[in-house]
Structures are given as C-alpha cells and as structure tokens.
C-alpha cells in the first residue's frame, strides 16, 4: 500500500505486537502544576533501543517479501535509527548494511553492533550523515537491497504512527493536544494521521529545533526546502531537508509548528533529570521544552508530550549545562580591553563584579608593545537581572568591552 492511513497504522501495530514495548503514559505533576494543564509524558525512551525508531524500522523490514529479505537491507544513520534497524535485523534474521559517519562515537557504534550481532555490517563512511546516506543509497542500488529510510517511507511512517495509536488507546477522546518532536517528520506524520482519523478534535503540534527548522521552513514556503548550515546539537532532529512524503502529511494534518531554542531544550533536559530522573536525549526533550511556548493555549487542557528517546551521551552534559546557563541569562562572555599596567584586573574584580558574580573563564596574554590588551572573560550570575548592574559598573569604570552574543561567530568557539 502506497500511503499512510489509520488502517496501515493498525496493521503495523499488529506486526509490532511482542516486538515493541507499549510504553507508559505517565502524568507529570510538576509540569501539570507549572503550566496549569494536565500534562502526560509518553515514555518512548523506555523501549529496548531507548527510542521509538524500532517501530518504523521493524514495520518496514517485517513487511518485506522473502525474496527482498534474501537481498538484505541498507540504511544510513548515526544514532537511533541504526539501533532500530540493527535490532530488527537480528529479530527477523535479515542481513543489514548500516552506514554511519566515520566520526560516530564508539559508544554508538558498539550499541548498534550489540543489537545487530552477526546480522549486520557497519560501514563507516565520510564525516557527516549526508556523506553516509549518499554512500548507502549508492550501495543499495548496486546490491538491489531494500533501503530503510529513517523517516520518508510510508511503512516507516505507519510504524511510528503506532505511538499515536497507543496514546489514543490510553487516553481515549479526552486528549486535547499531542506535542511531537520533529526532525524528518516520520513520527508526527504517523501520529497526526491516526488522530485525524480517530480523534480529529485533538490538535497535533510539532516541536522543531530553532537551529534546524527544515519542516517549519518547508511549511512556510509551501514546498520541501534544503537548509544550508544547521545547528546539529539536537542531533536526533537536526535534518537539513524534511521528507517529501512527510511534508505532504504534515502540511495537511498538523495544526501548528513551533521552533524551540536549543538552550531551552538543555534546560528541560536538566530539569527532567533532576526532578523525574528521566535521562532524555536532546530530541527527546523537545516536546516538553515546547510547553512554555504554548502556555496560553494549553492552560486547562490535557496534553501529551512524546519523550522520543533517551540515548544521551554522558560526555555531552558539560555542553548541556553551558547552553542552559547561557539561555537562562546566567552566563555571559565578554571581550574586555584592559590597560596593560599593574592593578587593572584587581580593579575589575573589586569594582565591576557584584557580590554573587563569579568569573568562570579568563584568558589573557600581556603584550608589552601595546597600551591595552583584550581578555576573554566568562561571568556567571546568580540571576539574570544582575547583568544590567554589571554593565552599569563596567561603564562606570570606562571599560571598553564587547558582549559576545549567540549570533557572534566567536560564540561557537566558546560553547
């Protein structure tokens, strides 16, 4: 069947019985209280592969004919999709060639290998997902294998749509909003299709990273578009071009799209860990981070946020903390021109810094041939309102400085 429907999603659900975990739908008392709504979390991070991606991968691979299975499958991924394909290959005993960028962390490669075992081969190609995907498609054509696309395939979309079926089975008609993370659009295409057919009153809203708004821009321009440079921090949803098939579904069925700043997502990840003990990956926290941007609309309503995955590398937490502090206005970077004579730093410490301001970064090299020298200074504040007072004191000292903002090229070096 070339397309996606309630029927194709229900067919996928039958195929996935005993393969995927029907994940919990848990009420969040903290978020419900904070937003004046009834907020539920759909815990797809609790799947064996710690994401919903197993649903679409298995549905496609499980629907192949025996002749197709004999020729094997091919996919490209640096993360969750690769794990879903690997586990599906092992369960179905299908040979899978998985293309991953050569820059993929060993931890991710090891997890893919653990799920797939002898049924997979991993090919490390290029330095980006785009490089790996191009190589995978060429290899697929030569071998005559089936390509398991991470999102732009109707079988994959139908498999991801079983998340929506489970939510409907768990909530019935009392649901007002479903918030889905959006990368290529496979998950939201499936979820919106199911709710459009079963509970059209429920509004489906997509949450996309501000730094990689491929679906948002495609909807705005009326056609799938290719973005240039993107912020890849939310790697599970950082896509330069949304799918052609997913675009058609999203344009027709999704009620709204919101762009979520990466720093807000980081703050949400930290809050989820500290309050609920949930280890969400950046894309997994997208839907919850979007709540604050929808606060007026959702007040008094019942809302489901899909926690799409929990494959987060512990080594990323320093950057997550950094981005959160910057987003919340608690950390700022300056280039400050200091006179190159004794006592200037002491003067800055005594008269510019407030009692709760803290220097967390300082880089300076004295140059005797010049009267002044620039220093890179990072300052952490107790509350964001303290910035205005800090700038007033710096102006009183007649310091020449530049506040480094998010759109400054130097910011990428700092964070």
Residues 232 and 357 occupy one common structural domain: no
Global pTM value:
0.92
Which residue range is the domain that position 240 belongs to? 6-51+155-321
CB 268 within 8 A of CB 217: no
CATH value at residue 96? 3.40.50.1100
Q: Is residue 394 domain-shared with residue 249, that is, in the same domain?
A: no
- Residue showing tokens 């996309």: 208
Looking at the structure, do residues 299 and 337 belong to the same domain, yes or no?
A: no
Cβ–Cβ < 8 Å for 163, 191: yes
Whether 208 has a pLDDT exceeding 60, the answer reads yes
pLDDT in tens, 301-349: 999 999 999 998 888 899 999 999 999 999 999 999 888 778 888 889 9
Residue 163 in tokens: 């998340």
Rounded (10°) CA dihedral 254, 255, 259, 265 = -80
Q: SS3 for 245?
A: helix
Q: Is residue 68 situated within a structural domain? A: no
Q: Does the pLDDT at position 1 exceed 60?
A: no
Q: What's the distance, CA 323 to chain centroid?
A: 14
**406 vs 45, more confident:** 45
270/396 same-domain check: no
Strands (E), 134-196: 146-147, 177-181
Do 336 and 390 belong together in one domain?
Answer: yes
Query: Do 184 and 234 belong together in one domain?
Result: yes
The CB-side HSE value for 268 (13 A sphere, CA atoms) comes to 25
Q: Does residue 62 sit within a domain?
A: no
- pLDDT at position 22 over 90: yes
pLDDT given for residue 132 in this prediction: 87
- In the block, tokens 């880089």 appear at 363
Same domain? For 308 and 385 the reply is: no
Same domain, 133 and 159: no
pLDDT in tens, 349-377: 999 999 999 999 998 876 665 678 889 99
Whole-number pLDDT of residue 10: 98
Q: Give the active site residue among 77, 308, 324, 331.
A: 308
| Residue, of 181 and 405, whose pLDDT is higher | 181
Measure Cα distances from 23 to 43, 152, 170 in Å. Answer: 6, 24, 10
Catalytic residue chosen out of the listed positions 42, 53, 108, 165: 53
**Residue 25's pLDDT is what?**
97
Residues 121 and 169 in one domain: no
Told to judge if 383 belongs to the known catalytic residues of this protein, a careful annotator would answer no
Question: What are the pLDDT digits (tens) for 257-295?
Answer: 999 999 999 999 999 999 999 999 999 999 999 999 999
Distance CA 136, CA 156 (A): 17
53 is catalytic: yes
Is 63 within the bounds of a domain? Answer: no
Average pLDDT of the chain is: 93
Residues 353 and 66: their CA atoms lie apart, in Å, by 71
How many folded domains does the chain comprise?
3
Q: Calculate the dihedral angle through the C-alpha atoms of 103, 106, 108, 110, rounding to the nearest 10 degrees.
A: 140
């Amino acid at each position: 069947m070339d397309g996606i429907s309630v029927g194709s999603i229900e067919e996928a659900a039958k195929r996935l019985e005993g393969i995927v975990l029907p994940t919990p739908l848990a009420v969040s008392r903290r978020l419900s209280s904070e937003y004046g709504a009834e907020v539920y979390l759909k815990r797809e991070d609790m799947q064996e592969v710690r994401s919903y991606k197993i649903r679409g991968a298995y549905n496609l691979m499980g629907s192949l004919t025996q002749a197709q299975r004999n020729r094997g499958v091919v996919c490209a991924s640096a993360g969750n999709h690769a794990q879903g394909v690997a586990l599906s290959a092992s369960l179905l005993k299908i040979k899978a060639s998985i293309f991953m960028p050569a820059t993929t962390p060993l931890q991710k490669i090891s997890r893919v290998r653990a799920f797939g075992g002898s049924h997979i081969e991993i090919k490390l190609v290029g330095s980006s997902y785009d490089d790996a995907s191009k190589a995978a498609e060429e290899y697929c054509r030569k071998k005559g294998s089936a390509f398991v696309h991470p999102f732009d395939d109707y079988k994959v979309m139908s498999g991801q749509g079983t998340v929506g079926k489970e939510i409907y089975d768990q909530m019935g008609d009392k649901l007002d909003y479903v918030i889905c993370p959006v990368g290529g659009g496979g998950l939201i295409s499936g979820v919106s299709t199911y709710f459009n057919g079963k509970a059209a009153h429920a509004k489906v809203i997509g949450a996309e990273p501000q730094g990689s708004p491929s679906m948002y821009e495609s909807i705005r321009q009326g056609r799938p578009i290719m973005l240039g440079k993107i912020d890849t921090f939310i790697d599970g949803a950082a896509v330069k071009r949304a799918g052609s098939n997913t675009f058609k579904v999203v344009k027709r069925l999704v009620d709204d799209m919101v762009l979520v700043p990466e720093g807000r997502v980081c703050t949400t990840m930290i809050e989820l860990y500290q309050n609920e003990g949930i280890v969400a990956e950046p894309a997994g926290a997208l839907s919850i981070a979007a709540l604050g941007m929808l606060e007026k609309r959702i007040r008094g309503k019942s809302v489901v946020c899909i926690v799409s995955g929990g494959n987060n590398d512990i080594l990323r937490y320093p950057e997550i903390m950094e981005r959160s502090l910057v987003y919340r206005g608690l950390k700022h970077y300056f280039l400050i021109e200091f006179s190159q004579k004794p006592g200037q730093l002491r003067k800055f410490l005594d008269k510019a810094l407030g009692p709760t301001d803290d220097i967390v970064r300082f880089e300076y090299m004295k140059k005797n041939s010049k009267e002044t020298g620039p220093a890179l200074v990072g300052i952490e504040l107790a509350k964001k309102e303290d910035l205005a007072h800090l700038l007033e004191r710096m102006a009183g000292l007649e310091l020449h400085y530049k506040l480094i903002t998010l759109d400054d090229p130097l910011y990428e070096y700092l964070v």
